[in-house]
A and B are shown apart, each in its own frame.
Chain A
Amino acid sequence: MTDNGVPILQLKGVSKSFGAVQALTKVDFETREGEIMALVGDNGAGKSTLIKGISGIYKFDEGEIHFDGKPVHIHNPRDAADLGIEIVYQDLALADNLDVVANMFLGREVLQRPFRLDEASMEEAAIRTLDSLSVTTVRSVRQAVAELSGGQRQAIAVAKAVMWNSRLVILDEPTAALGVAQTRQVLDLVRRLADKGLAVVIISHNLHDIFEVADRITVLRLGQCVNVYHTSETTQQEVVHAITAGKLEHVPGMVPA
């Protein structure tokens, strides 16, 4: 993937502090259509804060958010969803006792008559979405999510996120609890999302996974953006070095004047 993609989301100089703790200092970040951007950094580097700011859970103290080139304000998760930003959380947020269709439509059910759920059209749409993502390992969309493997559950969570006209999908540690084969399935799925023209952000501690799937890598360290690498032009050693000892522009912990 090249730099040709159109930037969807751009953060310019965003900062966030919690009391005396400066969690993010003047961070720039961007995602492009059809591109997988990895977000890496050690614990406490500010990855989660950045994501929560984008999704509207926190509000950045300063800096600008541009979506499709226009400045936007994201005050709450609803605003983010309206822009087409969907987040797949690490702990999945699926209800085990409900089936695949019910989970994919949870909170956004389609009604047939004033009160009645339109099960048939929801099932059809769910199947279409799963098919379009080539998720074929799920035997039936009417089985409870509890019956699925970790990889299948992750696939359902991702499919749920892309079903709603989403433009940007953020995946928080999507392979953290998975075995080798299931990690493979999920990474393939992530690749297909980007191939469909969505912007994808993947947060992971596993550099091997990231080098396999990501186009670019943004490295955060102590709340600052150290560098943005093209996966094809860097090595794992270089990225590890950036994560642990990357050069910082601002003195850590000091609020920039």
Chain B
Amino acid sequence: MSETQITPSTDNSILKEAQSQSLGNYVSGYLKRLRSGDLGSLPIIFGLLVITIIFQSLNENFLTPRNFVNLIVQMAGITVIAIGVVFVLLLGEIDLSIGYVSAVAAVMVALLLRGPTGISGVGRLMERMGFEEPWSWWAAMAMALLLVALIGMVQGLIITRFQLPSFVVTLAGLLVWNGVVLILIGAGGTVIIQDQIIVNIANYFLPRELAIFGATLPVNVGWLVGAVIVIIFAAGRISRWLSRRNRGVSSTPVVIIVLQIALVTLVTGAIIYVCNLDRGVPLVGVVMLILLTFFSFLASRTRFGRYVYAIGGNMEAARRAGINVTRIRITVFMLSSVMAGMGGIVLASRLRSVDTAAGGGDLLLISIAAPVIGGTSLFGGHGRVLSALLGALVIAGVNNGMGLLGLSAGVKFVVTGLVLLSAVLVDAISRRGRTQSGIA
């Protein structure tokens, strides 16, 4: 930053006020935000509690360790896809192609792993290009993700270059990629995935013993991962607090930080404990957490994230500030496609196969509904990456619970729809509260 030529006056108020943020100030500030209608994550946490109580009282299997582990595995694919959707929604755009883009990635991985067999077009192409072996898991995955990144880039280029609504362009994408999936799978109908590592993504559980250097230590890997999570979280909070205090700008009271770290420790510990009562911590849960952390950082702590929010809030202001709006928008559509691809691979891993129905059904709608239920605005500029997880948890919870009750798919759709509607209603009503109190 260039130095300002303005000499700071020390006797002025904002700086002083900022430095002296006490616990009382913090709490009263929070309560004030609540009263003015800025509810944050409270409605969804309340919603999750209600869902848990209802389903547990109707079926005692809902809150069992076995079902909890199932729930994590069930929600993982949607969560990963929904992370990409968050960024698209933050821009105030939509991406309707993600369902079938996820299937394109899954089919590509499956076909590349099956190798040059001649049953499918991809197999014949591999033959003609001189491959004699199936691709390794990482090469197949890299190729598939590269391909969907390209899809996102093309869609983003069309949207920005011709100034078309993303709704229409990605709607066309939905049809095109649906067709491509059918063409790729070809006559076989189903492609089985036999590669152990790809299958493990959604079917592996962290072991209770640590095999290292030929020795087997009685260390539960789940607890080890949990410890790492808590340490990273605590280090992040503390370093941020220190840097803010050193700069003399308002920092969160120490008590609150201690409470936050304690809460994260408690929740992490509880989750790992419950998982260990069953098969252990699912690997896919850890993958999901790593992706969530990375993309939360990207959204809230980097220039890229800041520009995404700015474009969603006021595209003209962003442009005048010298931000390359076109490049950011194209990047977000690529990101959305890549996350869809990753989610598609997770879903395929869980089923150990890909068939012609991949990417269809309610996948697209659920992936967009999840961040919205989690509190991300459809109109751009407002929302968090975490909303992908919270919304996916609600949707998967409702689905799982009704599955246990043996309810039909029809009832599931009706209830999921009502949950989405109530989430949007809560958001609209709280926003009206904010407008009335001058916090639009």
Contact of B4 among A93, A97, A125, A149 (CB under 8 A): A125
Cβ of A213 within 8 Å of any chain B Cβ, yes or no, is no
Q: How many residues of A contact B (CB 8 A)?
A: 51
Cβ of B5 within 8 Å of any chain A Cβ, yes or no, is yes
- In the bound complex, do residue B317 and residue A94 qualify as a contact, i.e. CB atoms below 8 Å apart? yes
Q: How long is the Cα–Cα vector from A72 to B320 in the complex, in angstroms?
A: 23
- In the bound complex, do residue B440 and residue A121 qualify as a contact, i.e. CB atoms below 8 Å apart? no
- In the bound complex, do residue B6 and residue A132 qualify as a contact, i.e. CB atoms below 8 Å apart? yes
Q: How long is the Cα–Cα vector from A149 to B440 in the complex, in angstroms?
A: 11
For residue A122, which residue of chain B has the nearest CB? B1
Cβ of B313 within 8 Å of any chain A Cβ, yes or no, is yes
Interface residues of A in 84-128 (CB under 8 A from B): 89, 91-98, 102, 106-112, 115-117, 119-125, 127-128
* Min CB gap B10→A, angstroms: 8
* Min CB gap B364→A, angstroms: 26
Q: Which 6 A-B pairs have the closest CB atoms?
A: A107-B321, A95-B313, A97-B313, A97-B381, A120-B247, A132-B6
* Contact of A102 with B12 at beta-carbon distance under 8 Å, contacts A97-B312, A120-B246 already known: no
* Min CB gap A17→B, angstroms: 26
Interface residues of A in 136-165 (CB under 8 A from B): 136, 138, 140-142, 144, 146-147, 149, 162-165
Cβ of B322 within 8 Å of any chain A Cβ, yes or no, is yes
Cβ of B133 within 8 Å of any chain A Cβ, yes or no, is no
**B231-253 to A contact mask, C-beta < 8 Å, 1/0:** 00000000000011011111000
Which residues of the partner chain A approach B316 to less than 8 Å between Cβ atoms? 91, 93
Q: How long is the Cα–Cα vector from A93 to B313 in the complex, in angstroms?
A: 11
Q: How many residues of B contact A (CB 8 A)?
A: 42
Cβ of B180 within 8 Å of any chain A Cβ, yes or no, is no
Which residues of the partner chain B approach A120 to less than 8 Å between Cβ atoms? 243-244, 246-247, 249
- In the bound complex, do residue A165 and residue B5 qualify as a contact, i.e. CB atoms below 8 Å apart? yes
* Min CB gap A110→B, angstroms: 5
Could you pull out 27 A-B pairs where Cβ atoms are within 8 angstroms? A78-B322, A96-B313, A96-B440, A97-B312, A97-B382, A98-B306, A106-B310, A106-B321, A110-B1, A111-B303, A117-B303, A120-B246, A123-B250, A124-B247, A131-B8, A131-B13, A132-B8, A132-B9, A140-B18, A140-B250, A149-B438, A162-B4, A165-B2, A165-B4, A165-B5, A196-B5, A196-B6
Q: How long is the Cα–Cα vector from A127 to B303 in the complex, in angstroms?
A: 20
Contact of A107 among B15, B314, B322 (CB under 8 A): B322
Which residues of the partner chain A approach B1 to less than 8 Å between Cβ atoms? 108, 110, 121-122, 125
Which residues of the partner chain A approach B249 to less than 8 Å between Cβ atoms? 120, 123-124, 127
**B314-340 to A contact mask, C-beta < 8 Å, 1/0:** 101110111100000000000000000
- In the bound complex, do residue B317 and residue A162 qualify as a contact, i.e. CB atoms below 8 Å apart? no
Q: How long is the Cα–Cα vector from A233 to B381 in the complex, in angstroms?
A: 50
**B363-399 to A contact mask, C-beta < 8 Å, 1/0:** 0000000000000000001100000000000000000
Which residues of the partner chain B approach A102 to less than 8 Å between Cβ atoms? 306, 309-310
Q: How long is the Cα–Cα vector from A120 to B241 in the complex, in angstroms?
A: 9
Q: How long is the Cα–Cα vector from A197 to B4 in the complex, in angstroms?
A: 13
Contact of A95 among B2, B248, B302, B317 (CB under 8 A): B317
* Min CB gap B53→A, angstroms: 35
Q: How long is the Cα–Cα vector from A219 to B56 in the complex, in angstroms?
A: 77
* Min CB gap A169→B, angstroms: 12
Cβ of A186 within 8 Å of any chain B Cβ, yes or no, is no
Cβ of B3 within 8 Å of any chain A Cβ, yes or no, is yes
Q: Please report A residues at the B interface, Cβ cutoff 8 Å.
A: 78, 89, 91-98, 102, 106-112, 115-117, 119-125, 127-134, 136, 138, 140-142, 144, 146-147, 149, 162-165, 196-197
- In the bound complex, do residue A93 and residue B18 qualify as a contact, i.e. CB atoms below 8 Å apart? no
- In the bound complex, do residue A163 and residue B12 qualify as a contact, i.e. CB atoms below 8 Å apart? no
For residue B320, which residue of chain A has the nearest CB? A93
Which residues of the partner chain A approach B440 to less than 8 Å between Cβ atoms? 96, 146-147
* Min CB gap B36→A, angstroms: 9
Which residues of the partner chain B approach A119 to less than 8 Å between Cβ atoms? 244, 301
Contact of B321 among A93, A123, A163 (CB under 8 A): A93
* Min CB gap B91→A, angstroms: 12
Q: How long is the Cα–Cα vector from A111 to B156 in the complex, in angstroms?
A: 28
Cβ of B351 within 8 Å of any chain A Cβ, yes or no, is no
* Min CB gap B366→A, angstroms: 26
Which residues of the partner chain B approach A196 to less than 8 Å between Cβ atoms? 5-6
- In the bound complex, do residue A95 and residue B320 qualify as a contact, i.e. CB atoms below 8 Å apart? no
For residue A198, which residue of chain B has the nearest CB? B5
Q: How long is the Cα–Cα vector from A142 to B25 in the complex, in angstroms?
A: 14
* Contact of A95 with B310 at beta-carbon distance under 8 Å, contacts A106-B321, A128-B4, A129-B6 already known: yes
* Contact of A131 with B14 at beta-carbon distance under 8 Å, contacts A95-B313, A144-B439 already known: yes
Which residues of the partner chain B approach A107 to less than 8 Å between Cβ atoms? 318, 321-323
Which residues of the partner chain B approach A163 to less than 8 Å between Cβ atoms? 4
For residue A115, which residue of chain B has the nearest CB? B302
- In the bound complex, do residue B4 and residue A109 qualify as a contact, i.e. CB atoms below 8 Å apart? no
Q: How long is the Cα–Cα vector from A250 to B4 in the complex, in angstroms?
A: 43
**B1-40 to A contact mask, C-beta < 8 Å, 1/0:** 1111111110011110010000000000000000000000
